[in-house]
Structure 1
C-alpha cells in the first residue's frame, strides 16, 4: 500500500529533524571545517544520498542551524526590551538562559555554534548584525540605564555586555565538555559583577 502525502511529509520531517540534531551536535563539537557530511549522515542514521536530498552541502545545513540560533536570540531581545528595572530584567534574562542551559544540551550547542560561526566567518553579515549589534546595543543601553539609577555597578557598559555574553558562551562550552559533571552557577553568581545588591 503506497504512503499517503501526509505520511511522506511526516517521514521527511522526522528525517530532517535527525539531520538537524546530528549536525548541531557535530558542528558544536568540531566546527564546520572538521565535520564531514558522511559523519553527519551516520550520526543521523540516514544515507548520504538522503542527506543530500535535504541539504545540498554541509554549509547549507550549517547556515540553517546558525540562522535558527540567531532567531532564537529574539527571546533575549524581548526580555531586554522590558521597561522593568534593569536589575529585574537582568535577573529574568539570567534565569531564563541558565534554566535553558540546565535543561538541555541544545541551548549549549546553539551558543557554541554561534561562536564557531563567528570564528570561522561562516555567518552572514545580516545575521551578524542582528546577533551582535541589536542584542549588544540593547544590553548596553540597559546597563547604562541601570548605572544611571544606581542599580548596576560602574564600568564600561559595552565591556560589561561582552563579559555577560562571554560568560554564557563559556558556560555552554563547559556544559558540553563536562557533560554530567557540569554544575550550572546560580544567576546571582553570574550577575555578581553587574548588580549592586543592597
Structure 2
C-alpha cells in the first residue's frame, strides 16, 4: 500500500530530527569547523544524499540549530518581562535549568551552540548579529528583573547588570563542564545557583 502524505511528512520530520540531533552532538563535542557532513550523516544513520535533500550545506544546518536556540532565549526574555514576583520567576527559571541539566543534554548543548555561533565561520553574518542582539536583550531583561526584585526587597542590593552577567556566565560555564566532564559532572543545587541574589549585598 502506498504511503499517505501524512506518513511521508512524519518520515521527513523524523529524518530531520535525526540529522539535527547528530549535528548538535558533533558540533558541541568537536566544533563546527572540524565536523564534516559525512560524519553527521553517519551519526544520523542516513546516506549523505538524504542529508543533502534536507540541508543544502553544513552552514544551513548550523543556522537552523542556532535559530532553535535563539527561540529558547526569547522565551526566557518573555518570562522575565512578565508581571510575576521577580523571586518567583527567577526560582522557576533556575528550577527548569537544574532539571534540564540533570536529566538531559539539550540545554547544555544549546548554550554551547550559541557560544559557537559568535566565533565560528558559520556565525559570521546577520545570524551572528541577531544572536548578539538577543543575548544583550536577555542580559537586560535579567538585569531589570533583578532590579525589580531589589526594589521590593526580594533580592539583595548590588549592580543588577553585573549580577545578571554573573548569573548567565555561571550557567554557561556549567554547560561547558557538563559536556566536558560527562559522568563526573555534578550539577550544583538551585540554592547555590541563586545564592548571589539572597546573600549579603555590597
Alignment TM-score > 0.5, same fold? yes
**What is the RMSD of the two structures over their aligned residues, measured on CA atoms?**
1.8
Kept after mapping to 1: 8 A contact 2:100/2:107 = yes
Alignment of 1:195 with 2:194, yes or no, is: no
Matching residue of 2:117: 117
Asked whether 1:61 is paired with 2:56, we answer: no
Map 1:1-198 onto structure 2 (within 5 A). Answer: 1-120=1-120, 122=123, 123-129=127-133, 131-196=134-199
| Partners of 2:114 and 2:131 within 8 A in 1 | no
What CA distance in whole angstroms lies between the structure 2 residues aligned with 1:51 and 1:37? 8
- Provide the secondary structure at the position in 2 that maps to 1:193: helix
Tell me the secondary structure at the aligned position of residue 69 of structure 1. Answer: helix
1:19–1:41 contact (8 Å) kept in structure 2: yes
Cα 1:94–1:87, aligned 2, differ >3 Å: closer, same or farther?
A: same
Could you tell me how far 1:148 is from its partner in structure 2? 2.9
Q: TM-score, normalised by structure 2?
A: 0.88
User: 1:99 Cα deviation (Å)?
Assistant: 1.2
Query: TM-score, normalised to structure 1's length?
Result: 0.90
Q: How many residues align?
A: 196
Cα offsets for 1:137-190 (capped at 9, x unmatched): 111111122223333233322221111111111111111222222221111101
Q: Deviations over 1:52-102 (max 9, x none)?
A: 111011000000000001101233123212323322222111111111111
Q: In 2, distance between residues paired with 1:30 and 1:95?
A: 29
Stretch of structure 1 that moved more, 140-149 or 108-117: 140-149
> Contact 2:118–2:128 at 8 Å: present in 1 too?
no
Structure 1 alignment gaps of length 5 or more: none
Once the two structures are superposed, residues 103-160 of structure 1 have per-residue CA deviations (whole angstroms, 9 ceiling, x without a partner) of: 211111111111111233614322431x212211111111122223333233322221
CA contact (8 A) 1:151 1:196 kept: no
Answer whether contact 1:87 1:195 (CA < 8 A) is retained.
Answer: no
Instruction: Give unpaired runs (5+ residues) of structure 2.
Output: none
